[in-house]
């Protein structure tokens, strides 16, 4: 919405939320999320044509176009629990729109939703009105956290799905006109409603699938003399495959991949397509396997016990450049190590507040320190979980001195200079590459 406000000065954009504290934060100097470049855009647009408010009814009444971006987490109860999306917030929003609308409006579905929810939205919206009052358009979001502003200002594509009726196409054109302020017309793709909705799930499923594919091969590399970085480079040089999303890691996290694949699996199953469901389920299974074998390797390497040993976790966010920890592999790893009675010290440039919330109640001995040099004091091992740039440039000779010996590094992102670390004296355990150890 901030990008629209920035690029379309003639539009007035108001963001509404039921959560008063959040809206207060959006109206303050301390924004509720960390996203590089966002504060700059908010500073330029807030109070000019971008507003944050809790007056939901009033803003619904006044709006011509409503973007619905409410949370659609995976259901935790009842039918479809653990797989289907929980649409309760989204349905409440549809009701609020229905109750507070006096004139025709375009409803733009932004939340990631299972296919055919636009149809359900329409059913709610049309329950009490004449059929022409609301036109539902799907405009899925493809931004990635950490690069959100760049993804929004220079998107690979913008996708707009609508009914292929006259009024549907007219509504889609209205949304096209917004994006056309800054996105070249040939990058704005218009499709039917269901293709747009399904494309979002499929895009995320394909991205996640690439990571699981390379991670599965990393396990094979660890059993042979092959090196996963060399393989990624070699296969990524084939233009048909391409180099992106081929970095082996401790596993993918984030709010989208798992949720969207579970949705895809649920949809496939609900249409009786069990082979299709099984195929995508394996992408998640490999991800869990990758996280599990990473922790198992830490424990095995530390002589099968981490009881009372201090382990420094480098990075708690689900990836670099964000403070978001949703589905972060770090959480899984930390909890496993706490269960094994390790003492954890966690460092992360942005995610410590969320890390504290995530690990509250685990009963573990855990400290949180923004300074990595302090976090490693007396530690037996460092576990790199998120690929923050800052971890690459630390003085590892100094870090080595502060640690207990033998000092171990488990590089779950392959971001460090392993040869250099080995020369300093570390025993190094990368992903999908031979270990470098001083042990006999
Ligand atoms: C993703 C999609 O990229 C975005 O288009 C969609 O709108 C939302 O979901 P996001 O979850 O923000 O975005 O992060 P992304 O950069 O895709 O990374 C997801 C996870 O995969 C992270 O944990 C990341 O570290 C991991 N990853 C990514 C790898 O392990 N290896 C890679 O090569 C790339």
pLDDT digits (tens, 9 = 90+) for 391-434: 999 999 999 999 999 999 999 999 999 999 999 999 999 999 99
pLDDT at 401: 98
Q: Which of 38, 158, 218, 319 to mutate for ligand 1's pocket (most ligand atoms within 8 Å of CB)?
A: 319
- 212 token code pair: 């699981």
Number of other residues whose CB lies within 10 A of the CB of residue 81: 11
Mean pLDDT of the residues in the chain:
93
Ligand 1 within 6 A of 142 CB? yes
Residue 119 has what DSSP assignment? H
The answer, yes or no, to whether residue 303 has pLDDT greater than 70, is: yes
Taking alpha carbons only, the member of 131, 78, 135, 137 closest to residue 113 is: 137
Mean pLDDT along residues 213-234: 97
Q: Which of 35, 38, 157, 211 to mutate for ligand 1's pocket (most ligand atoms within 8 Å of CB)?
A: 211
The answer, yes or no, to whether residue 228 has pLDDT greater than 80, is: yes
pLDDT at 123: 77
Taking alpha carbons only, the member of 438, 435, 391, 433 closest to residue 416 is: 391
Whether 256 is a known active-site residue: answer yes
Q: What percent of the chain has pLDDT over 90?
A: 82
Mean pLDDT along residues 255-269: 93
Alpha-carbon torsion (373, 377, 380, 385), positive or negative: negative
CA of 63 to the centre of ligand 1 (A): 33
Q: Which atom of ligand 1 is nearest to the CA of 142?
A: 7
Mean pLDDT along residues 194-211: 95
pLDDT at 126: 75
Ligand 1 within 6 A of 256 CB? yes
The answer, yes or no, to whether residue 72 has pLDDT greater than 90, is: no
The answer, yes or no, to whether residue 132 has pLDDT greater than 60, is: no
Ligand 1 within 6 A of 33 CB? no
Top-confidence residue, 125 or 283: 283
The answer, yes or no, to whether residue 129 has pLDDT greater than 70, is: no
pLDDT at 115: 66
pLDDT at 169: 96
pLDDT at 409: 98
Cα–Cα distance measured from residue 124 to residue 138, given in angstroms and rounded to the nearest whole number: 16
Cα–Cα distance measured from residue 419 to residue 349, given in angstroms and rounded to the nearest whole number: 26
Q: Which atom of ligand 1 is nearest to the CA of 250?
A: 30
Lowest mean pLDDT among 27-31, 97-101, 371-375: 97-101
CA of 78 to the centre of ligand 1 (A): 29
pLDDT band at 131 (very low <50, low <70, confident <90, very high): very low
pLDDT at 316: 98
């Amino acid at each position: 919405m901030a990008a629209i406000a920035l690029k379309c000065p003639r539009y007035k954009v108001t963001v509404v939320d039921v959560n008063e504290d959040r809206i207060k934060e959006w109206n303050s100097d301390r924004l509720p999320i960390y996203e590089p470049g966002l504060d700059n855009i908010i500073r330029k647009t807030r109070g000019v044509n971008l507003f944050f408010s809790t007056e939901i009814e009033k803003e619904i009444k006044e709006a011509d176009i409503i973007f619905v971006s409410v949370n659609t987490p995976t259901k935790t109860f009842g039918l479809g629990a653990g797989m289907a999306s929980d649409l309760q917030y989204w349905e409440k929003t549809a009701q609020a729109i229905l109750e507070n609308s006096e004139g025709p409006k375009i409803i733009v579905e932004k939340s990631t939703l299972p296919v055919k929810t636009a149809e359900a939205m329409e059913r709610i919206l049309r329950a009490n009105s004449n059929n022409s009052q609301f036109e539902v358009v799907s405009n899925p979001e493809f931004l990635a956290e950490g690069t959100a502003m760049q993804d929004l200002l220079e998107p690979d594509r913008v996708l707009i799905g609508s009914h292929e009726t006259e009024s549907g196409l007219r509504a889609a054109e209205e949304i096209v006109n917004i994006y056309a302020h800054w996105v070249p017309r040939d990058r704005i793709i218009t499709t039917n409603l269901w293709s747009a909705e399904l494309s979002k799930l499929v895009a995320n499923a394909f991205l996640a699938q690439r990571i699981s594919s390379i991670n599965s091969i990393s396990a094979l590399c660890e059993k042979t003399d092959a090196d996963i970085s060399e393989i990624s480079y070699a296969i990524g040089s084939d233009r048909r495959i391409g180099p992106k999303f081929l970095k082996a890691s401790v596993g993918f996290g984030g709010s989208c991949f798992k949720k969207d694949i579970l949705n895809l699996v649920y949809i496939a199953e609900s249409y009786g397509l069990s082979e299709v469901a099984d195929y995508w389920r394996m992408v998640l299974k490999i991800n869990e396997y990758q996280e599990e074998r990473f922790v198992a390797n830490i424990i095995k390497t530390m002589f099968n016990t981490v009881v009372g040993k201090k382990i420094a976790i480098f990075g708690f966010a689900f990836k670099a450049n964000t403070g978001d920890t949703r589905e972060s592999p770090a959480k899984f790893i930390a909890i496993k190590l706490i269960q094994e009675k390790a003492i954890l010290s966690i460092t992360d440039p942005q995610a410590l507040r969320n890390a504290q919330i995530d690990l509250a109640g685990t009963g573990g001995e855990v400290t949180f320190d923004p300074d990595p040099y302090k976090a490693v004091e007396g530690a037996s091992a460092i576990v790199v979980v998120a690929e923050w740039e800052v971890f690459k440039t630390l003085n590892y000779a100094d870090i080595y001195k502060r640690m207990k010996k033998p000092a171990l590094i488990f590089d779950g992102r392959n971001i460090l200079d392993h040869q250099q670390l080995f020369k300093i004296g570390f025993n190094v355990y990368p992903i999908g590459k031979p270990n470098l150890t001083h042990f006999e």
